[in-house]
């Protein structure tokens, strides 16, 4: 049974009735982030007449025309986000593919010609939306011969959304599913907005800080292998991208920055973003030492610590960590 349309002139988003999943829960919320659909009525129906009377139809109808119908259940459907991705899209991916840039501009108040829109568009898909597409298309998080050590039936977003559906042994009327769907959509949508704002207002501003530090690297040390951040920020991912852009991959060995306590840190740089192996470590003989013992051993005043694994250390001043970094470069 379809839900009655309240006002014929109201903009309408239609998705299927009955049990719901994470992908269409997010897809509907994404649409409502746009001015055109912000006050839209959400219709949940498998009735073709309701599809025809709606302005956009998501995750139902067996059609994908890139204008009104956005379903991915057709046998012949094989659309991906772009040529760089192999994961087939779910309804979340479809809506994001076509409306994602507009949504990013709306949420973060960016102009369409801002180059950061394109950067965030790919970043959010890669870090969030693709996993929902994969989940909805039955792609496992792990190779078949590897079993997860964690029970993901209760902790993933798709799992949480599934549990918002009415239980099998309670009332399962259309209105019960519709009510719960709106709760699930709110969960998915707020998660998306929080993630997007985190990237747009936190991760993205860090890029310029790392860029400036990279540009100034030869003023820090003639080797060009040490950078000093003007303030602490998430730097690792940006550094790899900046090095690649400048044909300088692997060049930076140490990153220096002031921590929240006002002291200074020296951090090594991993060979890759997912590696625990660093390009250059703090000298073996200094690892695990602290305070006066470390200062005496290194010959550098004001040392605080060097981690036993040699990937990070600290001193009271910028001068101190810079000396530690230069000393580390001199060691084999």
Residue 200 half-sphere exposure, CB side, CA atoms within 13 Å?
A: 23
Mean pLDDT value of segment 173-185: 94
How does the average pLDDT of the chain come out, rounded? Answer: 92
What residue has token string 């839900």? Answer: 3
Output the pLDDT for position 141. 54
The dihedral sign for the CA sequence 277, 281, 282, 285: positive
CB 257 within 8 A of CB 232: yes
pLDDT tens per residue, range 110-156: 998 898 999 999 999 999 999 999 999 987 654 444 444 444 555 79
pLDDT at residue 181 greater than cutoff 50: yes
Taking 3-state DSSP, the helix, strand and coil percentages for the chain, each rounded to the nearest 5, stand at 45, 10, 45
Residue 314 half-sphere exposure, CB side, CA atoms within 13 Å?
A: 13
Output the pLDDT for position 3. 46
Mean pLDDT value of segment 286-300: 97
Task: Identify the three-state secondary structure at position 259.
Answer: coil
CB 274 within 8 A of CB 318: no
pLDDT at residue 4 greater than cutoff 60: no
Mean pLDDT value of segment 264-286: 93
Mean pLDDT value of segment 57-85: 97
Output the pLDDT for position 142. 44
pLDDT at residue 322 greater than cutoff 80: yes
pLDDT at residue 108 greater than cutoff 60: yes
CB 268 within 8 A of CB 279: yes
- The contacts of residue 217 (CB under 8 Å, 6+ apart) are 224, 225, 226, 227, 252
CB 261 within 8 A of CB 313: no
Residue 174, φ and ψ in degrees, nearest 5: -55, -40
pLDDT tens per residue, range 14-54: 999 999 999 999 999 999 999 999 999 999 999 999 999 99
Residue 56: left if φ>0, alpha if ψ -120 to 50, beta else—which one? beta
Confidence of residue 168 (pLDDT cuts 50, 70, 90): confident
* Alpha carbon distance 63, 194 (integer Å): 31
Output the pLDDT for position 172. 78
pLDDT at residue 214 greater than cutoff 70: yes
Confidence of residue 5 (pLDDT cuts 50, 70, 90): very low
Most confident of 3-12, 230-239, 270-279: 230-239
Nearest to 89 by CA among 30, 147, 33: 30
* Alpha carbon distance 325, 292 (integer Å): 18
Mean pLDDT value of segment 265-283: 92
Percent of the chain with pLDDT over 90: 85
Output the pLDDT for position 332. 66
Confidence of residue 225 (pLDDT cuts 50, 70, 90): very high
């Amino acid at each position: 049974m379809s839900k009655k349309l309240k006002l014929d002139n109201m903009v309408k988003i239609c998705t299927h009735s009955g049990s719901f999943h994470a992908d269409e829960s997010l897809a509907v919320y994404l649409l409502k982030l746009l001015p055109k659909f912000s006050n839209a009525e959400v219709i949940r129906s498998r009735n073709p007449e309701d599809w025809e009377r709606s302005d956009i139809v998501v995750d139902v109808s067996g059609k994908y025309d890139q204008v009104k119908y956005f379903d991915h259940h057709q046998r012949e459907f094989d659309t991906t986000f772009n040529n760089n991705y192999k994961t087939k899209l779910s309804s979340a991916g479809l809506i994001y593919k076509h409306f994602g840039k507009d949504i990013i501009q709306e949420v973060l108040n960016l102009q369409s010609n801002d180059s950061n829109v394109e950067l965030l568009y790919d970043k959010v898909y890669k870090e969030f939306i693709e996993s929902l597409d994969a989940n909805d298309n039955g792609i496992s998080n792990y190779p078949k011969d590897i079993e997860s050590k964690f029970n993901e039936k209760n902790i993933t977003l798709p799992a949480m959304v599934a549990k918002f559906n009415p239980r099998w042994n309670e009332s399962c009327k259309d209105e019960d599913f519709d009510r719960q769907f709106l709760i699930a959509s709110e969960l998915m949508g707020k998660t998306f907005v929080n993630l997007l704002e985190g990237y747009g207002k936190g991760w993205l501003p860090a890029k310029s800080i790392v860029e400036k530090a990279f540009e100034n690297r030869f003023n820090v040390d003639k080797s060009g292998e040490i950078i000093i951040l003007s303030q602490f920020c998430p730097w690792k991912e940006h550094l790899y991208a900046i090095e690649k852009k400048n044909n300088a991959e692997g060049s930076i060995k140490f990153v220096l920055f002031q921590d929240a306590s006002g002291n200074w840190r020296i951090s090594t740089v991993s060979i890759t973003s997912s590696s625990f192996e660093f390009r250059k470590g703090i000298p073996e003989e200094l690892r695990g030492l602290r305070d006066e013992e470390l200062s005496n051993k290194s010959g550098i005043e004001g040392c605080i610590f060097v981690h036993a694994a040699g990937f990070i250390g600290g001193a009271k001043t910028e001068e101190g960590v810079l000396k530690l970094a230069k000393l580390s470069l001199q060691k084999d």
